[in-house]
Structure 1
Amino acid sequence: MSKLNFRNIFYISVVFHIVAAIFSSGFQHFDEHFQIFEFLNFKLGNIPSSNLPWEFREQIRPWFQVFIYFTFYKSFTFLGISSPFTIAFLFRLLTSLFGLFALTKLIPIIKLWFKGEKNQTIAWGLLNLCWFVPYIQTRTSSESFGISFFLWGFSLFTLALEKDKDLVKSGLLAGLLFGLSYLSRSQMAFMVAFIWFFALFIKKANYRLLLSSAVAIIVAILAGIAFDYWGYGNWTFSTWHYFRTNFLEGIMSNVKQYPWWWYFRLALNRGIAPVSLPLILATVWGWWTYRKHILTWATLPLFIFHCYVGHKELRYIFPIIIISPLYLALFFQVYEAKLISLNTKKLFRGLIKFIIGVNFLFLIISSFKAANPSVNFYKYIWSNEEIREIHVHGENPYTMLGLPLEFYKKRDLKIINIDSLELYLKELNETQYLFFNKGKFVSIMEGNTKCSLEYLTYPKWILKFNIGNWISRSRVWSVYKCSN
């Protein structure tokens, strides 16, 4: 890290953010697709509202992010871009680069909190090059969108608190950004509210900063009501409906519940233990050591809230995960002398190199790997002009969680279900395309002279390494071109 500087780290980060935007196609969670892309598809007039998930009916999702994408979509189509895959890529690219831009806004904070160029470089490097950062910031999810607005506003607000100047201007802009963060993801309200409380009770901030930021947040909330009207077609307040359905009516009690400590397990396992364990320990250490620090007031209340809520998903604490590298950098700064001493030991140096190596390995993997490989199938169907109908044996590939997935689907594509494969092949009298969603059918179709394998979830050469017939036990999508 000592050989790197801010500029070089930024350039490396740019590369990984762009690579992730190109290759990390699809969606990390179903909400990223159905509550963003399909909501957009509805506003474009391509699908009826009945195709949308229950969140539309209950009016619990804010429309701000969809409105932003809608505006860009119209610009893209005006330029002649019509492929949903190109448009999805452009959305990822814009979201990813906006996330990176938000990270650069933390540079003044880093220079404020960390002493010396070495510690500042470590903090900036960790913030950009932890393996999950480009992946999370590339997601076109409400979490990613909300984080970026928050980080920008967080920097402005913190600098105004520390330097006590440009209070009204900084308060208005920071408040607006905090409000847009909330409009992206309503749970961000915890981070925004407790930062404001920190300024009020701990820092005893100037009333001009408090008042101007509060006014801007309220203005953003009122704008959110207008965005929701644009989306739902009636005056409503999505945050109230979110609270009503999830807490008063208890709809989340119908999904699996987990104990309060479950996020530690999720973060450890899915964050790749050699990397996630130091981050988890440093964050918990930071929450205790820096109890009166604005970083703790921003992150700990959100974590406590999600620990309280029974249903837990790692994406809910993405805002904390993105910031957690700063706690690790603070740990390095506090124990710098001790760590320098330990660095003389071969075993310790080897451990550090191992952790860094694991991190960069998964940084490369997460940037190049599709978030959801099903999108590769949709792209294959879209780009093949010969395919006008697909015969499906098993689940409809354009249906997930019982919801129609229309954004990537050709408008004239027909899906025909078949019950008996044997009867289908027997009565085959023209060229047709046959889809399977289970790997066992790859073995069944092997050697079939009527059909040739055209598409497989994995590269076709992997069939040569079907040791123990693992493909038959896997969820593998395949398309065969069949003719009599």
Structure 2
Amino acid sequence: MAMWTLAACLVVFRVFNALFVRTYFNPDEFWQSSEVAHHMVFGYGYLTWEWQPHAQLRGYAHPAIFALLYKSLQLLGLDSRWAVAYGPRILEGVFTAITDIFLYKLARTYFDASTAKYALLCQISSWFVFFALSRTFSNSIEACCTTIALSYWPWHFMSGQAKRESGESTTERRHLRIAVAFAALGCIFRPTNAVLWVFLASSLLVRSTSPVSLILSTFMPIGVVSIAAMAVVDRIGYGEWTFVPFNFMKFNVLEGKDKLYGVHPWHWYFVAGFPQATATHLPLILYGVFLTQQRDLAAVVLWSLCVFSFGAHKEPRFLFPLLPASFVYAGKALHSLETRTFFKPVVSLLVAANGAAAVYFSRFHQVPRHVGRHGPHTSTRWAARSVGRARLLGRPRRPHRLDRLSPALPRHALVQPSPSQHPALVPHVHPIVRAVWWIRLTWVCSEREVGSPSDALRQDPLAFATARYAATPLPTYVVMYSSSAAALAESLAAWKFSLDQAFAHATVSLDADSPVPDTHMLVYSRKAHKSP
């Protein structure tokens, strides 16, 4: 298959992938990307505390990508509800396809074309890649930049045709500059990406015959330009000069406040995170590493896992940039098994198991923003209709403190309240927001010292609700998970609330802190305020 044909097929597949995913995974999918971009272009949208002047923990480079998309749509008069909602997803699907393409190039350069074919198969068939990589995380674009950089990196060995093609020093220097440029770009999007490149750059300098020349001619110029570009983008975003990587490191490392988002044991990436992300491909990855002496990529992955393990807070999505490199070894393993009689059954099982998991987690597990059998936006159609009747929306671009819709569930789980561009809310809200504003929660989203509303609710739902409304008017609607309903049933009845809607959410619980599955999201309304 010609490379351009392969690229076109991958783009089509990943755009389909991006549009197929309808489940909830993590709030940063919106709060650190398209919601910020919407605020930049359209002038409204909610910014979490990390983007406030006192924190400045996030760089504007990543949301700027989607801001350019939104601005283009606006200038062309194409900023429809659907385009604003799904444009970022489609663009991220293209980025994921680019990651696939350069994974193929990386595996072909690192091993050979046959290995590249199977490495690409492993990435395409991965349930976790399908489920998570096409979402608008900064980790996703970080993975794209990392894979491109690795595909151009001057490994100390090359194999076959790749070695002959890169034999000229001019070509090697050009490839190194491309690699360093994309490595720098990855670090701009995610400062933690520097962990990979500290290891690789150090290794390159150690084996270089002229390390000083390498630093002065390649690393330093690209580094200076990258830092300057990042500083300018953040200056535009924040309105003042700031150095986000330092703010990020100070908060998460020096002050150790990453613990606020959850604490995991040091070995979590090895026993849970990496096995979860690689799933059925993990035995193939390990076997591929065993088969070859070319273990530079494996060393990068192992080094990164070890360094990431020092952090208190850990998430599988932090491993996005390590997955393509890992699948290179899985491809090597499959290539070695190609002539075995059990090869086809193994591949079939691999694809079937991952395909089933991909469909389940992408379509059915945790669907707060796309629920109901009458269409993908049943819950938000109801919300827009009901909230509109209750006159809970104010004027555009003006904060509106709302005491009449209360989420009795964690902030990050409420039909993901990202007003201006959330894929569920936007198709129903975006054309209205020019005339009305959206739901604004009463509590302020800010840095917390200890605990969270999620913890308080989980530990004692009744005490949480009682304290919440001890001195404030009761809301018109209360939204909660089914697991909290029993504890609040009597109080809700006493407060004249009745069940209005129930939306399917999940069939199993994957949260160790909440073993009871939240099968539904329940909406209660006060009888005195129910619309006819």
Query: Normalized against structure 2, the TM-score is what?
Result: 0.69
Name 1:474's counterpart in structure 2. Answer: 519
Structure 1, unmatched stretches of 5+, are: 421-431, 463-470
Name 1:191's counterpart in structure 2. Answer: 196
How far off its partner does 1:148 sit?
0.8
1:267-306 to structure 2, matched below 5 A, reads: 267=273, 270-271=276-277, 273=279, 275-279=280-284, 281-282=286-287, 285=290, 289-291=293-295, 293=296, 295-306=297-308
Separation (CA, whole Å) in 1 of partners of 2:141 and 2:83: 20
1:129-208 to structure 2, matched below 5 A, reads: 129-158=125-154, 163=166, 164-202=169-207
How far off its partner does 1:46 sit?
1.3
Deviations 1:409-441 (A, max 9, x none): 644346899x99xxxxxxxxxxx9856434459
Name 1:250's counterpart in structure 2. Answer: 256
1:317-328 to structure 2, matched below 5 A, reads: 317-328=319-330
Name 1:237's counterpart in structure 2. Answer: 243
Separation (CA, whole Å) in 2 of partners of 1:207 and 1:456: 62
How far off its partner does 1:330 sit?
2.5
Answer yes or no: is the 8 Å Cα contact 1:9–1:128 preserved in 2: no
Separation (CA, whole Å) in 2 of partners of 1:437 and 1:362: 27
Separation (CA, whole Å) in 2 of partners of 1:203 and 1:434: 66
Compare 138-147 and 73-82 and name the one that shifted more: 73-82
Deviations 1:4-47 (A, max 9, x none): 99788766644431222213246521222222234334434315
Name 1:395's counterpart in structure 2. Answer: 407
Answer yes or no: is the 8 Å Cα contact 1:267–1:314 preserved in 2: yes
Separation (CA, whole Å) in 1 of partners of 2:117 and 2:517: 49
Separation (CA, whole Å) in 1 of partners of 2:63 and 2:243: 16
Q: In the superposition, relative to structure 1, how do residues 192 and 57 fare at CA in structure 2: closer, same or farther (>3 Å)?
A: same
Separation (CA, whole Å) in 2 of partners of 1:416 and 1:199: 51
Amino acid at match of 2:330: L
- Equivalent in 43, 63, 66 of residue 69 of structure 1: 66
Name 1:355's counterpart in structure 2. Answer: 350
Separation (CA, whole Å) in 2 of partners of 1:122 and 1:205: 37
Compare 355-364 and 310-319 and name the one that shifted more: 355-364
- Equivalent in 18, 41, 46 of residue 21 of structure 1: 18
- Is 2:74 the partner of 1:31? no
How far off its partner does 1:202 sit?
3.7
Aligned length: 444
Answer yes or no: is the 8 Å Cα contact 1:60–1:238 preserved in 2: yes
Answer yes or no: is the 8 Å Cα contact 1:175–1:215 preserved in 2: no
Name 2:461's counterpart in structure 1. Answer: none
- Is 2:462 the partner of 1:437? no
How far off its partner does 1:370 sit?
7.8
Separation (CA, whole Å) in 2 of partners of 1:387 and 1:358: 46
Separation (CA, whole Å) in 1 of partners of 2:517 and 2:66: 40
Name 2:44's counterpart in structure 1. Answer: 46
Separation (CA, whole Å) in 2 of partners of 1:394 and 1:67: 32
Name 2:510's counterpart in structure 1. Answer: none
Name 1:80's counterpart in structure 2. Answer: 77
Separation (CA, whole Å) in 2 of partners of 1:231 and 1:93: 24
Separation (CA, whole Å) in 1 of partners of 2:117 and 2:176: 28
Compare 181-190 and 358-367 and name the one that shifted more: 358-367
1:412-427 to structure 2, matched below 5 A, reads: 412-413=437-438
Q: In the superposition, relative to structure 1, how do residues 182 and 478 fare at CA in structure 2: closer, same or farther (>3 Å)?
A: same
- Is 2:114 the partner of 1:101? no
- Is 2:213 the partner of 1:215? no
How far off its partner does 1:283 sit?
7.3
Name 2:117's counterpart in structure 1. Answer: 121
Amino acid at match of 1:217: G
Amino acid at match of 2:221: V
Deviations 1:271-326 (A, max 9, x none): 484x154256347758x9544x2x23542322111112122111111211233111
Q: In structure 1, the residue corresponding to 2:58 is in which secondary structure?
A: coil
Separation (CA, whole Å) in 1 of partners of 2:319 and 2:256: 21
Answer yes or no: is the 8 Å Cα contact 1:85–1:379 preserved in 2: no
Amino acid at match of 1:320: L
Deviations 1:136-162 (A, max 9, x none): 331111100111122222222348985
How far off its partner does 1:398 sit?
10
Q: In structure 2, the residue corresponding to 1:57 is in which secondary structure?
A: coil
Separation (CA, whole Å) in 1 of partners of 2:308 and 2:418: 29
Bigger fraction of residues in helix: 1
Q: In structure 1, the residue corresponding to 2:240 is in which secondary structure?
A: coil
Q: In the superposition, relative to structure 1, how do residues 181 and 451 fare at CA in structure 2: closer, same or farther (>3 Å)?
A: same
Separation (CA, whole Å) in 2 of partners of 1:358 and 1:12: 23
Structure 2, unmatched stretches of 5+, are: 371-376, 393-402, 430-435, 443-464, 467-474, 508-515
Separation (CA, whole Å) in 2 of partners of 1:255 and 1:120: 38
Compare 242-251 and 138-147 and name the one that shifted more: 242-251
Q: In structure 2, the residue corresponding to 1:310 is in which secondary structure?
A: coil
Compare 54-63 and 138-147 and name the one that shifted more: 54-63
Separation (CA, whole Å) in 2 of partners of 1:37 and 1:225: 20
Separation (CA, whole Å) in 2 of partners of 1:249 and 1:59: 15
How far off its partner does 1:256 sit?
3.5
Compare 362-371 and 74-83 and name the one that shifted more: 362-371
Answer yes or no: is the 8 Å Cα contact 1:268–1:280 preserved in 2: no
Work out the percentage of aligned pairs sharing the same amino acid.
20
Separation (CA, whole Å) in 2 of partners of 1:371 and 1:10: 32
Q: In the superposition, relative to structure 1, how do residues 11 and 479 fare at CA in structure 2: closer, same or farther (>3 Å)?
A: farther
Separation (CA, whole Å) in 2 of partners of 1:352 and 1:39: 41
Name 1:261's counterpart in structure 2. Answer: 267
Separation (CA, whole Å) in 2 of partners of 1:269 and 1:379: 38
Answer yes or no: is the 8 Å Cα contact 1:17–1:97 preserved in 2: yes
How far off its partner does 1:135 sit?
3.1
Amino acid at match of 2:272: L
Q: In structure 2, the residue corresponding to 1:60 is in which secondary structure?
A: coil
Q: In the superposition, relative to structure 1, how do residues 40 and 14 fare at CA in structure 2: closer, same or farther (>3 Å)?
A: closer
- Equivalent in 330, 333, 341 of residue 332 of structure 2: 330
How far off its partner does 1:366 sit?
4.8
Q: In structure 2, the residue corresponding to 1:437 is in which secondary structure?
A: strand
Q: In structure 1, the residue corresponding to 2:309 is in which secondary structure?
A: helix
Q: In structure 2, the residue corresponding to 1:62 is in which secondary structure?
A: coil
Name 1:465's counterpart in structure 2. Answer: none
How far off its partner does 1:65 sit?
0.8
Q: In the superposition, relative to structure 1, how do residues 214 and 400 fare at CA in structure 2: closer, same or farther (>3 Å)?
A: same
Name 1:316's counterpart in structure 2. Answer: 318
Amino acid at match of 1:185: R
Separation (CA, whole Å) in 1 of partners of 2:256 and 2:408: 31
Amino acid at match of 2:139: E
Amino acid at match of 2:350: I
